[in-house]
């Protein structure tokens, strides 16, 4: 079954880059930053581009099967002021829930930094899950690290998957059978497809969650995106002063985008003269494409199974 989805806080659309090969159809994007908007209009001129997603009206873009978004992370970052849901940016997580209430998609996918798990003693994350549960969604969440999905950066993010009316499809997306049966995979190895050694446990809201610990010995490039300043902060593990700055193309590869995906005509300049600064910022704020591809493929598999029965 082809899935029609709406994307908010779209950035440069890692979700669409990840899901287009499955034939999924974007109903709308929503983004307020100028450069990411220009990237979206360059690559997807036929997809409606909304500004502030809190102003999207019920069925404004037709019925959707899935709502996806990674609301701003700065208010939950362990390196920031941690305003949580009291911060306007953090409150957008609850606005995401309100949009889900208006649209009633059967699937939701929400992403944020691991700091959301401990923000306000865990109460902020509990409020987000509780709001979604009140809307009838069964939930699962997991921390996934992009380095185990084929890209050379360590980028850990919380992913919440919800399914309307039942937590089991959501759990089937994020967890393999060996994890749910209490038999975690062997200790993680380089480039394994799914982060293993997850400590799986049940949580509130009728769902399942896990927390995957850092592997601090990994000698690869590390993302600094949980510092509240975007991923402009890609650095080497050794912090060596002679390590050069990454190029925009290298950052695109670290996030799983095609080369020069963010090299677009910008402010009366051609794509070949597109400045690096906006490209770094947009890439640093993006989700990792391979992780989103894995989640999307799992959703498609589960959705097809449900449609048969």
Burial state string for 43-63 with b = 16 or more CB within 10 A and e = fewer than 16: bbeebeebeebeebeeeebee
Q: Which residue has the higher pLDDT, 229 or 255?
A: 255
Q: In the predicted model, what is the mean pLDDT of residues 256-279?
A: 95
SS3 222: strand
Terminal C-alpha separation, the chain:
13
**64-103 tens-digit pLDDT:** 999 999 987 555 544 444 454 555 555 788 889 999 999 9
What total of structural domains would you count in the chain?
1
Q: Is the alpha carbon torsion for 94, 88, 76, 118 positive or negative? A: negative
Does residue 9 carry a catalytic annotation? no
pLDDT of residue 217: 29
* Contact in structure between 95 and 75 (CB atoms under 8 Å): no
Nearest by Cα to 277 from 79, 34, 111: 34
Domain residues for the domain of 208 are 4-308
Q: In the predicted model, what is the mean pLDDT of residues 271-286?
A: 94
pLDDT of residue 178: 55
Note the pTM of the prediction, 2 decimals: 0.81
**223-254 tens-digit pLDDT:** 444 444 337 344 444 555 666 778 999 999 99
**138-164 tens-digit pLDDT:** 999 999 999 999 998 999 999 999 999
Write down the catalytic residue from 73, 97, 231, 274: 73
**158-210 tens-digit pLDDT:** 999 999 999 999 999 999 765 544 444 434 444 444 433 333 333 334 344 44
Helix (H) or strand (E) holding 96: helix 88-103
Find the farthest-apart pair of alpha carbons in the chain and give their distance in angstroms, rounded: 59
Rounded Cα distance between 279 and 44, Å, is 17
CATH number at residue 275: 3.40.50.150
* Contact in structure between 173 and 162 (CB atoms under 8 Å): no
Q: In the predicted model, what is the mean pLDDT of residues 27-51?
A: 97
pLDDT of residue 191: 41
pLDDT of residue 176: 79
Across all residues in the chain, what is the average pLDDT? 80
Nearest by Cα to 206 from 253, 139, 153: 139
Q: In the predicted model, what is the mean pLDDT of residues 260-280?
A: 95
Angle subtended by helix axes 34-43 and 276-284, to nearest 10: 90
């Amino acid at each position: 079954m082809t899935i029609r989805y709406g994307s908010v806080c779209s950035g440069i659309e890692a979700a669409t880059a990840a899901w287009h090969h499955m034939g999924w159809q974007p109903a709308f994007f929503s983004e307020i930053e100028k450069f990411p908007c220009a990237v979206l209009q360059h690559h997807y001129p036929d997809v409606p581009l909304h500004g502030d997603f809190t102003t999207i009206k019920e069925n404004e873009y037709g019925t959707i099967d899935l709502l996806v978004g990674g609301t701003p992370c700065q208010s939950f970052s362990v390196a920031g002021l941690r305003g949580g849901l009291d911060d306007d940016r953090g409150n957008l997580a609850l606005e995401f829930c309100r949009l889900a209430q208006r649209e009633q998609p059967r699937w939701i996918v929400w992403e944020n930094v691991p700091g959301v798990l401990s923000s306000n003693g865990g109460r902020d994350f509990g409020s987000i899950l509780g709001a979604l549960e009140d809307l009838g969604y069964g939930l699962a969440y997991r921390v996934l690290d992009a380095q185990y999905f084929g890209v050379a950066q360590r980028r850990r993010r919380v992913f919440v998957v919800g399914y309307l009316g039942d937590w089991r499809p959501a759990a089937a997306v994020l967890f393999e059978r060996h994890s749910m049966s209490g038999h975690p995979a062997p200790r993680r190895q380089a480039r394994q497809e799914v982060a293993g050694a997850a400590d799986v446990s049940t949580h509130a809201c009728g769902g399942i969650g896990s927390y995957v610990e850092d592997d601090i010995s990994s000698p690869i490039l590390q993302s600094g995106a949980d510092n509240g300043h975007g991923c402009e902060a890609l650095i080497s593990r050794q912090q060596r002063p002679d390590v050069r700055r990454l190029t925009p193309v290298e950052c695109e590869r670290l996030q799983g985008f095609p080369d020069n995906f963010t090299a677009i005509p910008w402010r009366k300049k051609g794509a070949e003269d597109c400045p690096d600064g906006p490209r770094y910022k947009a890439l640093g704020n993006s989700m990792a494409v391979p992780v989103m591809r894995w989640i999307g493929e799992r959703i498609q598999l589960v959705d097809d199974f449900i449609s048969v029965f």
